[in-house]
Chain A
Amino acid sequence: MANTLFTIAMLIVGLSFLLVTVRFLLGPSVVDRVVALDVLTISSIGLIVLLAHFLDRVIYVDVSIVYAILSFIGVIVIAKYLERSL
């Protein structure tokens, strides 16, 4: 029962990945693409933790913590670069 619900949740997150990728490809400006990338990384954190549940390995939660930190720094650096203050 619970595993079925988790599978449906994973499918919904995958569908939203596709929609955000459309915005990533369409995005008229660079900032649009970066926003799409930000949403992709935030939702992929949830996806990695879901994967940790399915494979039953706690180490993937650590992976998602590192991924969250790296993506945050990445977005800040790109935004600083776009602002011409880097």
Chain B
Amino acid sequence: MEHLKIAGAIITLIGSLFVLFAAIGLLRMPDIYNRIQAGTKASTLGSILTLLGIGLYHPDWLLKIMLLIVFIVISNPVSSHVLGRAAHFAGILPSEKTHTNKLKEDTLETPTTKEEKK
């Protein structure tokens, strides 16, 4: 029982480190798309591990925490995808390091046609 508690605490610590990596990535990345990548990925696993560690420490909370983890895994990629699309259609360009942009080639006309429809 004691071992499980220590293991839970260590898992929580690893999770908080991943949250820290997400924050560093958010600060260091050069453009919005790379920031979304760093922010969402690392913070997803970070919060999953943080919650799982506490779930191991308190086994009677585990079901609720599992529900929370499932919700995070479903919702986090959706919000990052929506933000990426919003950034693209708001006209924010990727950094100069980006050497291939197929989406821009294909949807050059899309924002204007969208407005005409309304």
A contacts, CB < 8 Å to B? 1-3, 5-6, 8-10, 12-13, 15-17, 19-20, 22-23, 29-32, 34-36, 38-39, 42-43, 45-46, 49-50, 52-53, 58, 61-62, 64-65, 68-69, 72, 75-76, 79-80, 82-85
Chain B residues contacting A38 (CB-CB under 8 Å) are 39-40, 79-80, 83
A-B contact pairs, 24 of them (CB 8 A): A2-B5, A3-B9, A5-B12, A9-B13, A12-B19, A13-B50, A16-B16, A20-B22, A29-B87, A34-B86, A35-B36, A35-B80, A35-B83, A49-B50, A49-B65, A50-B12, A62-B64, A65-B68, A76-B78, A79-B82, A82-B86, A82-B87, A82-B89, A84-B115
B contacts, CB < 8 Å to A? 5-6, 8-10, 12-13, 15-17, 19-20, 22-24, 26-27, 32, 35-36, 39-40, 43-44, 46-47, 50-51, 53-54, 57-58, 60-61, 64-65, 67-68, 71-72, 75-76, 78-80, 82-83, 85-87, 89-90, 92, 114-115
